[in-house]
C-alpha cells in the first residue's frame, strides 16, 4: 500500500486509506470491528467508552428524518475496565489502527479512561466532547472553552498516543473551539458530531425519541459539516477528519477539498458495511483522472485564493 495514492499519515497514524468508521456505529466487539475493516475502513473508531458502565436510553432511540437519521442511543457502554479486554483482543486480530472514543463527566474521568484504553493497546484516542444528547458530558464540555481546554490538556499530558478531539457543530463559531482544542494539545480534530435535533409525532403530539432530543446525521447534515471543516481549516494547522453525511466518493472529495485529510463514515455504514471500499475506489479513480499522485495534494484545495 506504500505507493497507493490513498495511503497517508495522519498525526502519526499510518492509514492505508483515509476512510474510518465513525464512533457509535455497529458494535462493541472485535468481530464487528473486523467486519468493518474487511469492508475497507482504513481505521476503526469505537463506540464511546467511559470509566463507569452506562445502559443508555429506552426505545425509541432512532427516528428516520427526511434526509437523515436522528438518534439518542445514550452512550451505552460496558465501562473501560471491561472494554479494555475487548481492545486487547481486537488488537490481536485487527490490521488497521484502532481509535478508542472516550467520554467522561470530568477531566479526570476522561483521563483515566483514555489512559486505560492506551494501556490496553489503543492506537489513538478520540475525545467525545460533542455528543449532543447526554447531560454533563459530550457537547456540554465541547461547547465550553474552559472545560474543553482542561479536558484536552489533562488527557494529552497523560497519554503518549495520537489525541483526536471530535467537535460539535452546535456552536456559534467552531473555529474558536478548534483553536482552543489545538492549543490544549489536540493532534487532530474530527469535525463534526451530530446536530442537536427533535422529532414530534403530530397524531399523538409527543416527541418520538425517549430522550426527546437527539443528534441528526446523514445526508441532511453534510453541507453543515463541510462548512465546519472549511472554517476549521482556515484557523488551525493540525489534520482534520471530516465527518457528517458522507456516503460516496464525491462527498469524500468535497471534504478533502474543504480541508480534511481523512473522513469518518457512520450513517452510510448502517446500510452498507462495504461503503469504504466503494469510496476508496472512487477517490482513487478521481485522483488518477486529475493526475494527482497523492490524496494529500487535494487537501484544502478549495481554499486557494
Partner 1 sequence: MLTANNTMRITQIVNVHSESPSVKTYTFLDKLCSVARPGQFLMLWIPGIDEIPLSIMDATNGLVSVSVKVVGDATRHLHSFEAGATIGIRGPFGKGFTESQGRVLLVGGGTGIAPLMFLAKQLRTKTEHLAFVEGAKTKEELLFVNELGGMCQEKNLITTTEDGTAGLQCLVTQPLASLLEKEHFDMIYTCGPEIMVKKIFEITEHHKLPLEASLERLMRCGIGLCGSCMIGKYRVCRDGPVFTTDQLREVKDELGISKIGFDGSRIPI
SS3 (DSSP) at 168: coil
Residues 225-254 that bind partner 1 (CB under 8 A): none
Nearer to partner 1, 69 or 184 (CB): 69
Answer for which of 2, 92, 204, 305 binds partner 1 (CB under 8 A) is 204
Stretch that binds partner 1, among 117-125, 153-161, 175-183, 200-208 (CB under 8 A): 200-208
Q: Is residue 184 close enough to count as binding partner 1 by CB under 8 A? A: no
Answer for which of 53, 121, 175, 185 binds partner 1 (CB under 8 A) is 53
Stretch that binds partner 1, among 73-81, 140-148, 167-175, 181-189 (CB under 8 A): 73-81
Stretch that binds partner 1, among 31-39, 150-158, 163-171, 251-259 (CB under 8 A): 31-39
131 an active-site residue? Answer: yes
Q: Is residue 206 close enough to count as binding partner 1 by CB under 8 A? A: yes
Task: Count residues near partner 1 (CB under 8 A).
Answer: 40
Which of 218, 190, 216 has the alpha carbon at shortest distance from 275? 218
Task: Tell the smallest beta-carbon distance from residue 220 to partner 1 (Å).
Answer: 12
Nearer to partner 1, 54 or 156 (CB): 54
CA distance 220 to 129: 22
CA distance 63 to 216: 9
Task: Tell the smallest beta-carbon distance from residue 215 to partner 1 (Å).
Answer: 12
CA distance 267 to 73: 14
Task: Identify the helix (H) or strand (E) that includes residue 59.
Answer: none
Task: Tell the smallest beta-carbon distance from residue 71 to partner 1 (Å).
Answer: 7
Stretch that binds partner 1, among 75-83, 150-158, 170-178, 236-244 (CB under 8 A): 75-83
Task: Tell the smallest beta-carbon distance from residue 164 to partner 1 (Å).
Answer: 21
Task: Tell the smallest beta-carbon distance from residue 209 to partner 1 (Å).
Answer: 10
Q: Is residue 201 close enough to count as binding partner 1 by CB under 8 A? A: yes
CA distance 94 to 118: 16
CA distances from 264 to 17, 183, 270 (A): 11, 23, 13
Q: Point out the catalytic residue in the list 131, 228, 243, 277.
A: 131
Identify the DSSP state of 49: B
Answer for which of 28, 89, 105, 292 binds partner 1 (CB under 8 A) is 28
The residues assigned a catalytic role are 131
Which residues are near partner 1 by CB under 8 A? Answer: 24-29, 31-32, 34-35, 47, 53-56, 58-64, 69, 71, 73, 76-79, 82-83, 201, 203-204, 206, 208, 210, 267, 270-271
Amino acid at each position: 500500500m506504500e505507493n497507493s495514492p490513498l495511503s497517508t499519515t495522519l498525526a502519526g497514524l499510518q492509514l492505508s486509506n483515509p476512510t474510518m468508521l465513525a464512533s457509535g456505529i455497529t458494535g462493541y466487539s472485535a468481530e464487528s470491528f473486523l467486519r468493518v475493516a474487511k469492508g475497507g475502513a482504513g481505521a476503526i473508531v469505537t463506540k464511546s467508552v467511559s470509566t463507569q458502565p452506562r445502559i443508555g436510553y429506552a426505545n425509541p432511540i432512532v427516528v428516520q428524518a427526511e434526509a437523515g437519521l436522528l438518534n439518542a442511543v445514550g452512550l451505552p457502554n460496558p465501562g473501560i475496565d471491561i472494554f479494555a479486554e475487548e481492545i486487547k483482543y481486537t488488537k490481536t486480530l485487527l490490521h488497521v489502527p484502532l481509535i478508542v472514543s472516550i467520554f467522561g463527566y470530568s477531566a479526570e474521568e476522561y483521563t483515566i479512561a483514555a489512559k486505560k484504553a492506551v494501556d490496553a493497546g489503543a492506537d489513538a484516542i478520540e475525545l467525545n466532547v460533542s455528543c449532543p444528547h447526554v447531560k454533563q458530558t459530550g457537547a456540554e464540555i465541547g461547547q465550553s472553552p474552559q472545560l474543553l481546554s482542561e479536558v484536552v490538556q489533562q488527557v494529552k499530558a497523560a497519554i503518549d498516543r495520537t489525541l483526536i478531539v471530535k467537535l460539535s457543530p452546535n456552536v456559534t463559531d467552531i473555529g474558536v473551539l478548534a483553536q482552543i482544542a489545538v492549543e490544549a494539545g489536540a493532534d487532530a480534530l474530527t469535525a463534526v458530531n451530530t446536530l442537536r435535533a427533535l422529532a414530534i409525532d403530530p397524531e399523538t403530539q409527543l416527541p418520538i425519541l425517549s430522550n426527546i432530543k437527539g443528534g441528526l446525521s446523514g445526508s441532511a447534515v453534510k453541507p453543515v459539516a463541510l462548512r465546519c471543516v472549511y472554517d476549521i481549516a482556515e484557523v488551525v494547522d493540525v489534520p482534520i477528519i471530516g465527518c457528517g453525511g458522507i456516503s460516496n466518493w464525491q462527498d469524500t472529495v468535497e471534504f478533502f477539498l474543504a480541508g480534511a485529510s481523512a473522513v469518518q463514515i457512520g450513517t452510510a455504514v448502517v446500510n452498507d458495511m462495504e461503503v469504504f471500499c466503494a469510496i476508496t475506489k472512487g477517490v482513487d479513480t478521481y485522483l488518477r483522472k486529475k493526475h494527482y499522485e497523492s490524496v494529500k495534494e487535494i487537501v484544502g484545495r478549495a481554499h486557494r485564493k
